[in-house]
Amino acid sequence: MRMVQVPLGERSYDIHIGENIWPAINEIWPQRLKPGQVLLVSDENVFGLYGGKLIAALHEAGFSVTPAVVPAGEQSKTLKWADTLYTAAIEAGLDRSGFIVALGGGVVGDLAGFVAATYLRGVPFVQVPTTLLAQVDSSVGGKTAVNHRLGKNLIGAFYQPQLVWIELETLSTLPKREYLAGAAEVVKYGVILHEPLITLLEKQWDGFIAGETPVLTEVIGDCCALKARVVAEDEREGGLRAILNFGHTLGHALETATSYKYYLHGEAVLAGMVLAVQLAQRRELLTEEEARRLLRLFARVGLKPAPPGLQAEAVLGALKQDKKREGDDIVFILPETIGKVRSFKDVDPQAVSDVLAAYL
């Protein structure tokens, strides 16, 4: 088992990564959590696959478990479902000596984390992420949220978990498309912070895609360590944390312009990263060779073509919309070399239109 620490003073916590680590729950969780009631939040898909294993391990460790299962998908990330979970917590007699566990992807993690942050003004919380995206991104860092009908993630809290438990076995059932969407965020960490991760992915790509345990342990552990470093320096997104938004400026605009119906988040981010690398190449930040190397790796993740009929104006309109919300200029995070990015407020709009037109 590999362990990565998120160093946040007295709120520091560990991320545990390994295959078939269910039995070790017995040994490790009680070191951090008192024996008591557990509200286990999951979605219908994941609960059917792994709920039984987690409940058995929690019983073995001396915890009493009440499951609360929500439908799979983004539509469960609402105050209405949070309210259903509050009811389940009250009915289960959950108090501050108990805790909430999220077993699932980013949807379940964000929703259960928000409930943990607000129920009784905060009860302890554990993340058991089961998608690649949740394992390398959403389960680490303490951002929790639900959606509002007027926008995604508008209601939320910064609230750190007590521990993160990454059971690699869960990836064996994750649909390939979801896996590759998560892989886009994996590649992102290499581009923004750590060239050796790009080299590792180039060398071990087949093992990574096949889900080989040693490769996954190294890659996922490295991503968690990189995110932990960023979060430790900037927990509440005052500065450095913005580099995690590499590929997300145009990625979000693509998601918005297609009403969140065409791309998975990671797919839109991958397209956004392709366009950002092309912008960086035009500004001669990246060399031809560096840009080619990144684009080759992005191609292995698999760039999704734009939907037929998507107009550049719609994407540029969504970009400006985003800008209004932030009350700021359009900010692009661009690589200066592989492993180092910086934010730019002066990207030429014509250059943005050009690279976008080439993609559409």
Let me know if 233 is a catalytic residue: no
Q: Which of 97, 173, 311, 321 binds ligand NAD (CB under 6 A)?
A: 173
Q: Which of 45, 127, 256, 281 binds ligand NAD (CB under 6 A)?
A: 45
Tell whether residue 106 is among the known ligand binding residues: yes
Which residue in the list 16, 19, 194, 245 is annotated as catalytic? 245
Let me know if 177 is a catalytic residue: no
Let me know if 241 is a catalytic residue: yes
Q: Which of 25, 107, 183, 338 binds ligand NAD (CB under 6 A)?
A: 107
By C-alpha distance, which of 296, 251, 342, 248 is closest to 288?
296
Instruction: Name residue, tokens 């942050």.
Output: 117
Tell whether residue 70 is among the known ligand binding residues: no
Cβ atoms 360, 304 nearer than 8 A: no
Which residue in the list 19, 167, 185, 255 is annotated as catalytic? 185
Quick one: which segment of 32-40, 79-87, 101-109, 292-300 binds ligand NAD (CB under 6 A)? 101-109
Which residue in the list 53, 241, 282, 283 is annotated as catalytic? 241
Enumerate residues 132-151 that contact ligand NAD by CB under 6 A: 133-134, 137-138, 141, 143
Tell whether residue 110 is among the known ligand binding residues: yes
Q: Can you give the three-state secondary structure of the chain, one letter per residue?
A: CEEEEECCHHHCEEEEEECCCHHHHHHHHHHHCCCCEEEEEEEHHHHHHHHHHHHHHHHHCCCEEEEEEECCCHHHCCHHHHHHHHHHHHHCCCCCCCEEEEEECHHHHHHHHHHHHHHHHCCCEEEEECCHHHHHHHCCCCEEEEEECCEEEEEEEECCCCEEEEEHHHHHHCCHHHHHHHHHHHHHHHHHHCHHHHHHHHHHHHHHHHCCHHHHHHHHHHHHHHHHHHHHHCCCCCCHHHHHHCCHHHHHHHHHHCCCCCCCHHHHHHHHHHHHHHHHHHCCCCCHHHHHHHHHHHHHHCCCCCCCCCCHHHHHHHHHHHHHHHCCCCCEEEEEECCEEEEECCCCHHHHHHHHHHHC
Tell whether residue 185 is among the known ligand binding residues: yes
Q: Is 160 in the site for ligand NAD (CB under 6 A)?
A: no
Tell whether residue 152 is among the known ligand binding residues: yes
Q: Is 338 in the site for ligand NAD (CB under 6 A)?
A: no
Cβ atoms 128, 165 nearer than 8 A: yes
Q: Is 18 in the site for ligand NAD (CB under 6 A)?
A: no
| Pairwise CA distance, residues 66 & 307, whole Å | 43
Let me know if 227 is a catalytic residue: yes
Residue 180 or 215 with smaller CB distance to ligand NAD: 180
Q: Which of 18, 51, 98, 105 binds ligand NAD (CB under 6 A)?
A: 105
Q: Is 237 in the site for ligand NAD (CB under 6 A)?
A: no
Q: Is 213 in the site for ligand NAD (CB under 6 A)?
A: no
Cβ atoms 15, 4 nearer than 8 A: yes
| Pairwise CA distance, residues 332 & 78, whole Å | 30
| Cβ 165 to ligand NAD shortest distance, Å | 13
| Cβ 5 to ligand NAD shortest distance, Å | 18
Q: Is 278 in the site for ligand NAD (CB under 6 A)?
A: no
Let me know if 185 is a catalytic residue: yes
Tell whether residue 36 is among the known ligand binding residues: no
Let me know if 237 is a catalytic residue: yes
Let me know if 194 is a catalytic residue: no
Q: Is 131 in the site for ligand NAD (CB under 6 A)?
A: yes
Tell whether residue 131 is among the known ligand binding residues: yes
Q: How is residue 293 written in tokens?
A: 């190397």
Q: Which of 130, 249, 256, 281 binds ligand NAD (CB under 6 A)?
A: 130
Tell whether residue 352 is among the known ligand binding residues: no
| Pairwise CA distance, residues 63 & 38, whole Å | 7
Residues belonging to the active site: 121, 143, 185, 227, 237, 241, 245, 248, 252, 265
Q: Which residues are annotated as a binding site for Zn(2+)?
A: 185, 248, 265
Binding site for ligand NAD (CB under 6 A): 43, 45-46, 49, 72-74, 77, 104-108, 110, 130-131, 133-134, 137-138, 141, 143, 153, 170, 173-174, 178, 265
Q: Which residues are annotated as a binding site?
A: 106-110, 130-131, 143, 152, 170-173, 185, 248, 265
